[in-house]
Structures are given as structure tokens and as C-alpha cells.
Amino acid sequence: MDGWLTAGGRKLVLGMVHLSPLPGTPFHEDGSFGRTLDTAVRSARALYEGGADGCLIQTVDRVYTVDEESDPARTVAMGLITRAVAEATDERFHIGVQLMRNALTASLAVAKVAGGGYIRAGALVGQTLTAHGMVRADPLRVMEYRRRIGAEHIQIIAEIDSMHFRWFDGQKTTAEVARAARAVGADAVSLCHPDEDTALDMIASVREAAPGLPVILAGHTRHENAARLMAAADGAFVGTCLERDGWGGEIDRDRVAEYVGIVRRLER
């Protein structure tokens, strides 16, 4: 598999840039978009200056549609933020887009037009039950759209067992879901579990079932366990432990540098 996800065996640190509710969503605060954009750019700069490999710009709200769609105002807002982050960093900094819950074509469009390099898919295969209803994957639509807009270079990281996705009815193992995701075109998969040993077992099962498929931690990683978890994984989405004042806060450059230092020592 070509691309930056497997470049040189480097372990990827991808910081989470959590956004306040955007225009076009029910809990958006009128007049707040400028603050949201500025905070996102400052957080991305902190990641960039702290040595992270990239970021994932993710919408955060209290309620989402489960359909594969995004309100036009929300999509435009995400595009403006993604472009601003791209202009504040450089081509070495990999920018991801995730319009929750599963607006994959809109995420691909934003990444393609605004300077992103990948998306994270909440459900690329199968279906998962969420608080907002059943999210059903439509990989054919996603892959056809990616080709139609010339976005084959936009990588897709598929969640296969995480806070956002678990195979409905439990009839497939994590490893089987990984194989299914790769079969439809995923460039990498992401997974996590709050129990460290369970997470390591999940990674090992995917390694055996889908050799060569990059495995990115989808959460539950922090400075205290980074060395153990990242020794087994190819990268991680890192959020709360880098944010001032806990989840959803602005990212702190010094915390980023400390985390990145732990990971880089594994590569020596």
C-alpha cells in the first residue's frame, strides 16, 4: 500500500482538532464560527510545532444524522477550517477530515478541495448502532464518488472497533472487519479499547488477518501508555492528553512535543 501511511516505518502521531458545533447544525451558536476557526488553527499549529505528523479535524455535536450526508453550511464551514489549517502548516503535515457521524462523501470533497490528505470513516463496511440510530455503510457509493472527483490520493482510515463503530450483532471479529474494510478500499484501519491488553490483542489479530494493513489507534492513548501501545501500532489519533482543560480544549504544544518524543524514541 503506497502513501504516507506506510512511509519509512514512521509511527504517526495525529492530533485531534475537535470543533464546536458548526453552522447548519442545531446547537451551533450564531456568530461563533470565527472563534471556532481560530481555535482550530491554533491547535493545528501547536501540533505542527510540537512535531506531530498531522491532525484530524472532527466535527463535534450533540446530535447527528445517521445518513451519509452533511448540511451544506456545515460542509462549507469544514472546508474553510481545513483550508485555513493547510495554509497555517505545510505539505508535510497530514490533515484529515471527519464529518460525523458518517458523511464520507462530504468529507472526501472537503479533503480534495481544501487541502486534506485523508478522511476517517465512521462506518465504511457493515453497520453500527449509535445513540442517534443505525449507521449503515455504503462503500460502493463512497468509492465511486472518490473516483468521480479524482480523490483516489485521499486516504481512507476505516474505524473497525472503537468508540464510534462496533459491528452490529457482533457476528464479525475485529480482524474480520479489518479484512472487509481493506477489501472495499480502506488504506488503513483504526481501533481502540480502554483496556490496554485488549487493545494489544486486537492489534495482533489484525496483523495476522490482514498483513501489511496499517493499524491506527482510535483513542485511549496518553503519555503514560504511549510507549507500550505505539510499539504495536502504526500510529494514533491523540486527543484529550494534548488538550488544555481536558477533552475539547485547545491543544498545548508542550504536551504534543512530550508525546511525540515518547513515540520517536520507539523508532530508534
Query: Is residue 81 one of the residues assigned to a domain?
Result: yes
**CATH number of the domain to which 72 belongs:** 3.20.20.70
Residue 109 has pLDDT above 80, yes or no: yes
Q: What 3-state class would DSSP assign to 251?
A: strand
115: CB partners within 8 A, 6+ apart: 82, 83, 85, 86, 87, 95
> What is the arithmetic mean of pLDDT over 97-119?
97
**Per-residue pLDDT at 45:** 98
pLDDT: is 232 or 5 the higher one? Answer: 232
171: CB partners within 8 A, 6+ apart: none
Scan for cell 512530550, then name that residue. 258
The domain in which residue 157 lies consists of 10-266
Q: Could you read off the pLDDT of 143-198 as tens digits, one per residue?
A: 999 999 999 999 999 999 999 999 999 899 999 999 999 999 999 999 999 999 99
pLDDT: is 3 or 5 the higher one? Answer: 5
Burial (CB count <10 Å: 0-12, 13-18, 19+), residue 197:
exposed
Query: Is residue 107 one of the residues assigned to a domain?
Result: yes
Question: pTM of the entire structure?
Answer: 0.96
Strands (E), the chain: 12-19, 54-59, 94-98, 118-121, 127-130, 133-136, 155-161, 188-191, 215-217, 235-238
Query: Is residue 4 one of the residues assigned to a domain?
Result: no
Cell triple for 106: 462530504
Residue 205 has pLDDT above 70, yes or no: yes
From the list 155, 152, 158, 153, the residue with the least C-alpha distance to 137 is 158
Q: Could you read off the pLDDT of 144-155 as tens digits, one per residue?
A: 999 999 999 999
Determine how many CB atoms are found less than 10 A away from the CB of residue 84: 18
**Per-residue pLDDT at 52:** 98
In this prediction, residue 249 has a pLDDT band, given cuts at 50, 70 and 90, of: confident
Query: Is residue 133 one of the residues assigned to a domain?
Result: yes
Q: Could you read off the pLDDT of 209-243 as tens digits, one per residue?
A: 999 999 999 999 999 999 999 999 999 999 999 99
Query: Is residue 5 one of the residues assigned to a domain?
Result: no
**Per-residue pLDDT at 7:** 65
From the list 28, 10, 8, the residue with the least C-alpha distance to 216 is 10
Map 167-191 to HEC letters.
Answer: CCCCCCCHHHHHHHHHHHCCCEEEE
Strands (E), 6-123: 12-19, 54-59, 94-98, 118-121
Q: Look over the chain and give the mean of its residue pLDDT values, rounded to a whole number.
A: 95
Q: What 3-state class would DSSP assign to 59?
A: strand
In this prediction, residue 1 has a pLDDT band, given cuts at 50, 70 and 90, of: very low
Spatial separation of the C-alpha atoms in residues 172 and 181, rounded to whole Å: 12
Query: Is residue 3 one of the residues assigned to a domain?
Result: no
Query: Is residue 254 one of the residues assigned to a domain?
Result: yes
Determine how many CB atoms are found less than 10 A away from the CB of residue 4: 16
Spatial separation of the C-alpha atoms in residues 241 and 250, rounded to whole Å: 11
Q: Could you read off the pLDDT of 33-77 as tens digits, one per residue?
A: 999 999 999 999 999 999 999 999 999 999 999 999 999 999 999
Residue 130, strand partner residues? 133
Query: Is residue 59 one of the residues assigned to a domain?
Result: yes
**Per-residue pLDDT at 8:** 66
**Per-residue pLDDT at 156:** 98
Q: How many structural domains compose the chain?
A: 1
**Taken in order 189, 193, 194, 195, is the CA torsion positive or negative?**
negative
